[in-house]
Amino acid sequence: MSPSQRPSAMPAPLRWGVNYTPSEGWFHSWQDFEVDAVRADFESIAALGLDHVRIFPLWPLLQPNRTLIRAQGIADVGKVVDAAAEFGLEVSIDGLQGHLSSFDFLPAWVTSWHRRNIFTDPEVVMAQAQLITALAREVTERPNVLGMTLGNETNQFAVERHPDQQLTTPAQMGEWLTTLLAAVQTEWPGGSHQHSFDDNVWFVDNCPLTPAHAATLGDMTTVHSWIFVAVARLFPPGHPARTLFADYLIQLAAAYAQDPARPIWLQEIGAPHPAVPFDGAADFLEASLRPVLDTPNLWGVTWWCSHDVSRKLADFPELEHSLGLLDSGRAVKPAGRRLAELIAAEKSHPTPRRQRTTAVAFDPGDLQTGMGRSVADPAGAVFAAWLEQTAAGKKPALVRTSKLSDANYLRARGITDVALAAQPTRE
């Protein structure tokens, strides 16, 4: 990895990518891997001007038994990386899948009669570290790899709403993340490695993965912006909250970071139907991305997703069949054309990166446990105050109240004007 790719050196221009969903067979295609189909997909992706893809090998296929890592499965990941290189694409690899598009992919040796906690069982964690290490060893010497994300929204297995919740404390979650990040960093010291999560991390008090985990562990903070979770239920079509939500999440990520320069990766953002009408996806894409482009420490944008899920496949939530920049026949959709135009414009005349001088201050409560983070929920006063500042023509950041007395921190972030959001009464 070249110095310009490392997260400590912010890229110019911004990195542009897509989460790769195979057009033929979705992620089930790992079972009957055909590299020529992957090449055709990557050719259609590269034609949009994108420079990287995020890929998702399935954990049960790579490690069907706790002590068996399939050499062919690992080799197939390497073949995908090589195919991407043919089209000038770099690759970020997710390690433990995990959770994808409403489906869970866990190996049989942690489910049913063999149920074990994937976050706390020592033998399970050791096996996960071995798989992460094997993946890293396969790709680390390839010139077009960026790094590894531990898994896709792994926190979902630990939250109350999951039908088979894995009980975990914040301390245990931190230990799990630290252990697996150390494994990949040891084998692949030149890569950029991180973990990912849904927005429960920012808004749900009892989610065991906390904002502190999100904003301090790994080389970058990842952001997954999906308006169907809460924003679309709270704000009507056409309300600016919908297209400003990604920016809000990025500002939350920046507020929780100890290092003002910590890189942030908008790793997932999509235009989900019906919250976004089919004929409005392109406008939603542009209106959601333009507000974030001037963020000084934004590493890149990776759209979800590359290709629509084919309607030959059953039982997906309806929105999954329409999220692609291209359809399942690899034809470019309006959102894909709009993103290509935006990328071309940004490459020609990049949006200048600027610090935000105005910030909305909030008290998130206990950073160690995450109790109190719900103050920033889209239904609350912090988001309302942030939107109010935006409507007044200011482009606001967010800052924790505990940082308001730290002049060096405020100076590093460029904050000179602070507005206080109404705070809830804490018992």
What per-residue confidence (pLDDT) applies to 323? 98
Walk along the chain (427 residues) and give the pLDDT tens digit of each residue.
Answer: 433 333 444 446 799 999 999 999 999 999 999 999 999 999 999 999 999 999 999 999 999 999 999 999 999 999 999 999 999 999 999 999 989 999 999 999 999 999 999 999 999 999 999 999 999 999 999 999 999 999 999 999 999 999 999 999 999 999 999 999 999 999 999 999 999 999 999 999 999 999 999 999 999 999 999 999 899 999 999 999 999 999 999 999 999 999 999 999 999 999 999 999 999 999 999 999 999 999 999 999 999 999 999 999 999 999 999 999 999 999 999 999 999 999 999 999 999 999 999 999 999 999 999 999 999 999 999 999 999 999 999 999 999 999 999 999 999 999 999 998 876 655 5
**CA pair distance 285, 269, nearest whole angstrom:** 9
Lookup: tokens for 32? 């009957």
> How many CB atoms lie under 10 A from the CB of residue 366?
14
Number of residues written out for the chain? 427
Nearest-angstrom CA–CA distance, 313 and 28: 10
Contact 266, 298 (CB under 8 A): yes
- The pTM of the full predicted model, rounded to 2 decimals, is 0.95
| Local structure of residue 237 (DSSP, 8 states) | T
Q: What is the DSSP string of 119-173?
A: TT-HHHHHHHHHHHHHHHHHHTT-TTEEEEEEESSGGGGGSTTSTT-----HHHH
- H or E segment to which residue 398 belongs: strand 397-400
* Domain residue ranges of the chain, discontinuous segments joined by +: 11-348, 358-420
- Taking the C-alpha atoms of residue 17 and residue 33, their distance in angstroms, rounded to an integer, is 23
| pLDDT for 12 | 60
- Alpha carbon 25 to its chain's center: 23
The DSSP call for residue 353 is: P
DSSP one-letter string for 177-189 = HHHHHHHHHHH-T
Strand 358-362: give its sheet, edge to edge.
397-400, 358-362, 417-420
Find the helix or strand (DSSP H, E) in which 285 lies: helix 281-289
Cβ contact 88:145 at 8 Å: no
Q: Residue 425: what pLDDT?
A: 57
Residues 6+ apart with CB under 8 A from 106: 59, 60, 118
- The top-level CATH class assigned to 11-348 is alpha beta
Give every CB contact of residue 297 below 8 A, 6+ residues apart in sequence: 10, 254, 260, 261, 262, 263, 264
| pLDDT at residue 227, as a whole number | 98
Angstrom distance (rounded) from CA 182 to CA 167 = 23
